[in-house]
Amino acid sequence: MLREAWTKPQGRAGALLLLVLLASAMIGPWFLPDPLAQPDILAGSLPPGLGHPFGTDQLNRDILARVVAGARVSLSVAVLAVGLSATIGTAVGLVSGYWGGVVDVGLMRLVEGALAVPRLFLLLLVLAVWERIPLPALILMIGATGWFATSRLVRGEVLRLREEAYVRASEALGARRRHVILRHLLPNTLGPLLVAATLGIGDVILLEAGLSFLGLGVQPPTPSWGSMVLDSKEVLVSAPWAGIFPGLAIVITVLSANLFGDALRDAVDPRSA
Amino acid sequence: MADPLLSVRDLKKYYNAGGVFSRAAPPVRAVDGVSFEVGRGETLALVGESGCGKSSVGRTVLRLQEPTSGQALFEGVEIFSLDRPALRALRRRMQIIFQDPYSSLNPRMTVGAAVAEGLEIHRLAPRQEIPARVAALLREVGLDPDYARRYPHEFSGGQRQRIGIARALAVQPAFIVCDEPVSALDVSVQAQVLNLLSDLQQQRGLSYLFIAHDLAVVRQIAHRIAVMYLGHIVEQGVTDQVLSNPRHPYTVALLSAVPEPDPAADRARIVLRGDLPSPSNPPPGCPFHTRCFHPAKNERCRTEVPLLRPVAGTTAACHYAETTPQPAQAGAA
Amino acid sequence: MTHVLEVRNLRISFPSGPGRVYPVDGVSFWLDRGETLALVGESGCGKSLTSLALLQLVPAPGRIEEGSVVRLADTDVLALRGEALRRIRGRRIGMIFQDPMTSLNPVFTVGDQIIEGILAHFRIPRAEARDRALGLLQEVGIPDPVERLKAYPHQLSGGMRQRVMIAIALAAEPEILVADEPTTALDVTVQAQILEVLDRLRTSRGMAVLLITHDLGIVAGRADRVAVMYAGQIIEEAPTEQLFANPSHPYTQGLFASVPRISGPLRRLTPIRGTVPAPSAWPTGCRFRPRCPKAFDKSEQEPPLLSVGVDHRMRCWLAESPGGRASG
């Protein structure tokens, strides 16, 4: 399945870009100046040049370094939050779909209620109260508000898979429900799940960037693309590079995640060839 | 029958049409009062066309679905009143083989893992022994033990059916429900699987409830046969008897519709008129009367439900079973 | 006399890895007015693809190879394109498929679909088309045709739907009807009804029918001639009685031995050992050789169709030896 996504040009482009970003996020900081270096207001913003390929911001911090450091933060928030959403969503979807009955009805009503509230609102509400939220808590919040759609997706898959002959065969052999879920249902829902997760990464990056831009997400001095764009607001005319590069980083990351996710979806769903 | 392995009495399975909010739509009466017995080491075939309820019987007897009412005694134990742990233990004794070889195996599990699943669930063998057991089972169904490492998509329909059979055999059942196991297979492969089932029955003393719509297939493998129509058994008896001297008009029509690979055979075919009535709105009285061609058909058939009774060597549910015309007499109705 | 349909050396290829494979590999047959030819074989033999080729309906990336000939009396079908091709589809050759549920559009009434079929080939007012549609429904034996015209496919049973399919195919009044496993998805009693309809129509309209099936039983009662296919080739062809009385090719004999019978002595079935090979793995020489109980050294060469009787030919070297012509 992954191999198939690789063969499509969009998929390959997306995957490669993501890998490049990942690599630079991981090893970059060793080669680059410290993003949290002492701010030097007097030196001012330098345009992109030899010493600073992306230029520097108002506090004379190297932007490339900050973008790469921001990549670490944004990517880890995205991956961890999506991981959390996927896990909760899958668990709820499996139980709801397989048990059915009152459990299913109860859980799905809950999910529908939660989906009625815009996710951003929910987060804003919480974050407005909780100032200077530590990073792990932020990840938790984003993850905890993102599992609803996944649970419906997984539940739908389970409802379909439940009727497959091999699931009945397992039941006929006397398998406990837990066995059926772990051995048969879960492995066969991985496909659509992976797709949803990959596309979810793009969503979360945008979400986190937005929150940080509003000052509610990642807190300074930890660099984040969103807060970098926020900081660049004042100097957008005189030093546009301060806002362009972090913005570009957001766009490219989300685009590559979506490209790869789309290719995965085509690979998983035999009918959407 | 003395000491039957399985004894089913007045089994009913109704499905609710419409969802939670629809006003009482009449339920679909898939199985409407069915009784039969299966002896040790014998095959009872449940024959009928689509919508007659035979698959529902198979699944309900194994309690893969809960019955609406009725009793089923397996080795003396009442299946429908067992609690979960006891039912799980019973599952070892009763297994099932499915019709569709393409969905009967989990595409993400190796063949070996699929066959071993029963062994794992019931802890029938220590981990080290499992590969050997799986190999033996694969050999027993005529497959190369090396196949255990491969995935289902690498195999043909016939081979997948054999894998499904191996999986069922792993827990050493006494009784297997065969739900149209050869309907989806090519003619020559069908013969291979039928022979295999036959041989296994001899070697292991298995009993089969063989669900099918093809009478010629059933003749090869069944000792006794029960013909179903709209949720009822309309005729039941020893295979030879039923096929050579059918007493229920539906059985007569079914037999005459079977295409015979012999151009010289000039059988007068009885072609039934009309459509199958809806199982959620079955006709009153005899379920078959709307399409019945029996010359003695009258008002009684429209009002009184005929019960299965012994007639000329079989049992048939027809008021006038003694005088049911055979194809030669009836001609093309 | 020119045949109504003539197919010569039909080859269809599909890409496979670096090269191509030929699931239909040199098939030839003909059809005369008012007769039924049955094309018999198991899955993977190429019979369905053959029928699709008659109307240039072979799905991409498959393609009909050079040297293939499909002629309708004096029209070269494979040379037609565009409007000319559209005009013969349905009008001169009609097709009915195996699964009537997926061949009918669920959002249109049955009447609409038949009328659409009529109007596609005849320039007549809609009211007249409707009358013809009613007549067709009666011809295929659908009770209450006026009511049925307004019905949607899902409201009808499988047998009814297949009759509607036949009605649609007949609407264009074709000379040839291709029926691809028309009764496989239907119950036995319904199957009998449908076959009876096809028979009646064939005699009343003088149509030629190409019946594609794997069921030898259907063939026995309905076909005038039979061609048995295996691995992309016709391996035996004969008038029906001849084939059943004297099946000569080991594959045909194997098929007969493995089919359960409803009457006659009850014997253990003797299946053909092995499985049908995929087109990419066809054996060299005689393609049935690995599974054949009578294979001998000459089987390593691919046999042509050789005569074993009047109008009876098979693709087997055993035809050359006097013993090879005996059945069984």
User: Which residues are paired to B315 by β-bridges?
Assistant: B236, B310
- Comparing CA positions, the residue from C23, C242, C194, C223 lying closest to residue C98 is C194
Query: Which residues, other chains included, contact A209 with Cβ-Cβ below 8 Å and sequence gap of 6+?
Result: A74, A217, A224, A225, A226, A229, A250
Residue spans per domain, chain C: 5-223, 230-325
Task: List CB contacts (< 8 A) between C161 and chain B.
Answer: none
Task: List CB contacts (< 8 A) between B62 and chain A.
Answer: 172
More confident residue, B144 or A72: B144
For residue range A149-205, what is the model confidence (pLDDT) as tens digits?
Answer: 899 999 999 999 988 889 989 999 888 888 998 999 988 888 888 888 888 888 888
Taking the Cβ of residue C42 and every Cβ of chain B, the question of whether any pair is shorter than 8 Å is answered with: yes
Select from C215, C262, C271 the Cβ nearest to the Cβ of B188: C271
For residue range B32-88, what is the model confidence (pLDDT) as tens digits?
Answer: 999 999 999 999 999 998 878 898 999 999 999 899 999 999 998 999 999 988 999
Task: List CB contacts (< 8 A) between A160 and chain B.
Answer: none
Please report which helix (H) or strand (E) contains residue B244, including its range: helix B239-244
Select from A164, A170, A173 the Cβ nearest to the Cβ of B103: A164
- Comparing CA positions, the residue from B213, B253, B292 lying closest to residue B306 is B292
Q: How far apart are CA A248 and CA A244, in angstroms?
A: 6
Mean pLDDT to the nearest integer, B253-279 = 77
For residue range C184-239, what is the model confidence (pLDDT) as tens digits?
Answer: 877 888 888 888 888 888 888 888 999 999 888 888 878 899 999 999 999 999 99
Whether residue B50 and residue C158 make contact (CB cut-off 8 A), yes or no, is: yes
Whether residue B108 and residue A187 make contact (CB cut-off 8 A), yes or no, is: yes
Q: What is the pLDDT of residue A215?
A: 79
Q: How far A80 CA sits from the closest chain B CA (Å)?
A: 27
Task: Count Cβ atoms below 10 Å from residue A271 Cβ, excluding itself.
Answer: 5
Taking the Cβ of residue B140 and every Cβ of chain A, the question of whether any pair is shorter than 8 Å is answered with: no
User: Which subunits count as partners of chain C given 3+ CB pairs below 8 Å?
Assistant: B
Residue A38 has pLDDT above 70, yes or no: no
Q: How far B98 CA sits from the closest chain A CA (Å)?
A: 7
Q: How far apart are CA A53 and CA B20, in angstroms?
A: 65
Mean pLDDT to the nearest integer, B18-38 = 79
Whether residue B114 and residue A166 make contact (CB cut-off 8 A), yes or no, is: yes
Task: Count Cβ atoms below 10 Å from residue A110 Cβ, excluding itself.
Answer: 14
Q: What is the pLDDT of residue B328?
A: 61
Taking the Cβ of residue A193 and every Cβ of chain B, the question of whether any pair is shorter than 8 Å is answered with: no
Interface probe, candidates B188, B189, B190, chain C, greatest C C-beta count within 10 A: B188
- Comparing CA positions, the residue from C121, C49, C137, C122 lying closest to residue C89 is C121
Taking the Cβ of residue C323 and every Cβ of chain B, the question of whether any pair is shorter than 8 Å is answered with: no
Residue pair C171/C133 in contact by the 8 Å Cβ criterion: yes
Mean pLDDT to the nearest integer, B18-39 = 79
Taking the Cβ of residue C258 and every Cβ of chain B, the question of whether any pair is shorter than 8 Å is answered with: yes
Residue A61 has pLDDT above 80, yes or no: no
Query: Tokens in use for A216?
Result: 């509610």
Chain B residue whose CA is closest to A187: B108
Task: List CB contacts (< 8 A) between A188 and chain B.
Answer: 106-108
Q: How far B321 CA sits from the closest chain A CA (Å)?
A: 39
Q: What percent of chain B has pLDDT over 70?
A: 94
CATH fold of A2-272: MetI-like fold (1.10.3720)
Q: What is the pLDDT of residue C253?
A: 93
Chain B residue whose CA is closest to A164: B103
User: Which residues are paired to B232 by β-bridges?
Assistant: B229
Taking the Cβ of residue B160 and every Cβ of chain A, the question of whether any pair is shorter than 8 Å is answered with: no
Taking the Cβ of residue B86 and every Cβ of chain A, the question of whether any pair is shorter than 8 Å is answered with: no
For residue range B167-202, what is the model confidence (pLDDT) as tens digits?
Answer: 999 999 999 999 999 988 888 889 999 999 999 999
Select from B194, B253, B262 the Cβ nearest to the Cβ of C269: B194
Residue pair B175/B5 in contact by the 8 Å Cβ criterion: yes
Taking the Cβ of residue B52 and every Cβ of chain C, the question of whether any pair is shorter than 8 Å is answered with: no
Residue pair C284/B213 in contact by the 8 Å Cβ criterion: no
Residue B177 belongs to some domain of the structure: yes
Residue B10 has pLDDT above 90, yes or no: yes
CA B289 to chain centre: 24
**Residue whose entry in the numeric block shows the structure tokens 């993977």:** C44
Whether residue B91 and residue A173 make contact (CB cut-off 8 A), yes or no, is: yes
Query: Which residues, other chains included, contact B277 with Cβ-Cβ below 8 Å and sequence gap of 6+?
Result: B230, B283, B287, B290
Mean pLDDT to the nearest integer, B245-271 = 81
Cβ under 8 Å to C: B residues 215-274: 215-217, 219-220, 243, 253-265, 269, 271-272, 274
**Beta strand residue intervals within B231-324, DSSP E:** 232-238, 309-311, 314-316
Q: What is the pLDDT of residue C267?
A: 86
User: Which subunits count as partners of chain A given 3+ CB pairs below 8 Å?
Assistant: B
Taking the Cβ of residue B166 and every Cβ of chain A, the question of whether any pair is shorter than 8 Å is answered with: no
More confident residue, A233 or A38: A233
Query: Tokens in use for A20?
Result: 């490049």
Task: List CB contacts (< 8 A) between A166 and chain B.
Answer: 103-106, 114
Sign, Cα dihedral of A249, A251, A256, A258: positive
Residue spans per domain, chain A: 2-272
Q: How far B219 CA sits from the closest chain C CA (Å)?
A: 7
For residue range B276-319, what is the model confidence (pLDDT) as tens digits?
Answer: 788 888 888 899 888 888 888 888 888 888 888 888 888 999 88
Mean pLDDT estimate for chain B: 88
Q: What is the pLDDT of residue C244?
A: 92
- Comparing CA positions, the residue from C76, C43, C49, C37 lying closest to residue B187 is C43
Q: What is the pLDDT of residue A50?
A: 65
Task: List CB contacts (< 8 A) between B246 and chain C.
Answer: none
Task: List CB contacts (< 8 A) between B180 and chain C.
Answer: none
The amino acid present at B295, given as its one-letter code, is P
Residue pair B141/B168 in contact by the 8 Å Cβ criterion: no
Q: What percent of chain A has pLDDT over 90?
A: 15
Residue pair C293/C250 in contact by the 8 Å Cβ criterion: yes
**Beta strand residue intervals within chain B, DSSP E:** 6-15, 28-38, 43-47, 69-74, 77-78, 94-97, 175-179, 207-212, 224-229, 232-238, 309-311, 314-316
Residue B121 belongs to some domain of the structure: no
Mean pLDDT estimate for chain A: 81
- Residue-number span of the structural domain to which B192 is assigned: 6-93+173-330
CATH fold of C5-223: Rossmann fold (3.40.50)
Residue A25 has pLDDT above 70, yes or no: yes
For residue range B213-228, what is the model confidence (pLDDT) as tens digits?
Answer: 889 999 999 999 999 9
Taking the Cβ of residue C191 and every Cβ of chain B, the question of whether any pair is shorter than 8 Å is answered with: yes
Whether residue C262 and residue B198 make contact (CB cut-off 8 A), yes or no, is: no
Residue pair B138/B147 in contact by the 8 Å Cβ criterion: yes
Per the structure, the count of domains in chain B is 1
**Model-wide pTM > 0.90:** no
Chain B residue whose CA is closest to C157: B275
Ramachandran region, residue B298 (left: φ > 0; alpha: ψ -120 to 50; beta: rest): beta
Q: How far B180 CA sits from the closest chain C CA (Å)?
A: 13
Q: What is the pLDDT of residue B268?
A: 65
Whether residue A174 and residue B105 make contact (CB cut-off 8 A), yes or no, is: no
Query: Tokens in use for C300?
Result: 């390593």
Most confident segment among A35-44, B88-97, C196-205: B88-97
ipTM above 0.85, yes or no: no
State the CATH number of the domain containing residue B34: 3.40.50.300
Residue A48 has pLDDT above 80, yes or no: no
Please identify every stretch of chain C with a pLDDT value under 70, giving residue numbers as ranges. 1, 322-328
Q: What is the pLDDT of residue A16?
A: 79
